[in-house]
A = this chain, B = another copy of it.
Amino acid sequence: MTNNVHNFQVRVYYEDTDVLGIVYYANYLKFFERARTEWLRELGIKQSIYLEQNTGFVVRRLGMENIASAKLDDLLNVTTTISEVKRASLVFNQKITNQTQQLLCTTKVRVAYVNLGLGKPCAMPKDILGALKRVS
């Protein structure tokens, strides 16, 4: 039996904050990407292997909503699900809550599998596709 929801913890450090005293908005995209990477790793997909074949995942489209702000020392939880898997792309739905279970941020991200030499989408390897379909 597979688990269709992935949880990943992120600590907020100085590097993540800005002069407003909150996490800089672009840095939530780093947190979301770390969570996706760790889920792929748990599914047996180590991205550095595929990079050697000059292919990899590239973000094509995203929407982000920021409801409340993370602060220094916060321990965040990133929840990830996959809502769609196609031959050359997939869609992640993700949200971030803090240690008091307050919802801070949500995103929906379409990621394409790309031939990096050509800069064009290409079909994912079968083992990646199979692993993603099992958890979507």
Contacts and interface: CB of A to CB of B under 8 A. Distances in A.
A92 interface: no
Nearest to A23: B19
B72 A48 contact: yes
A34 interface: yes
How many chain copies? 4
A99 B135 CA distance: 29
B18 A18 contact: yes
Contact of A64 (B11, B27, B61, B71): B61
Contact of A24 (B15, B34, B68): B15
Contacts of A33: 13-15, 25-26
A83 interface: no
